[in-house]
Amino acid sequence: MLLLVLGLFLTVFSLGFTVEMESFPGLRDNVAPIAVVVVLIGGLCGLAGAMLCARSTPRTAAVLGLCLLAAVGWRTYALAPMLPCWSHESVARNEDGSYTCYDR
């Protein structure tokens, strides 16, 4: 159960890395790769937690697993436009919501 909650926490915690980048236009340091790694670790923790507690508390595992799946999907949807800038130092969010990659 603790792994499921940790997975949900890490997935939501990844928002802290990119919230400024997603909120308003401008040039920012590219921290999207860190957010992707945190989401992956959170998803794996949640999957392991769901597998471990599915036998003892199946309903709770199912509900938390679905919440985790929704959170990971939401973060993946938000991070996907930033991924082409993976190897660049900076990312600029344009007015239309797209991203432009920069190296300083």
- pLDDT for the residue numbered 51: 86
Strand partners, 92: 27, 100
pLDDT one-digit tens code per residue, 19-63: 887 887 778 888 889 999 999 999 999 889 888 888 888 888 888
Whole-number percent of the chain with pLDDT over 90:
24
Q: Are 5 and 46 in contact (CB under 8 A)?
A: no
- Outline where DSSP puts E strands in 1-104: 26-29, 90-93, 99-102
> Where are the chain's structural domains?
2-102
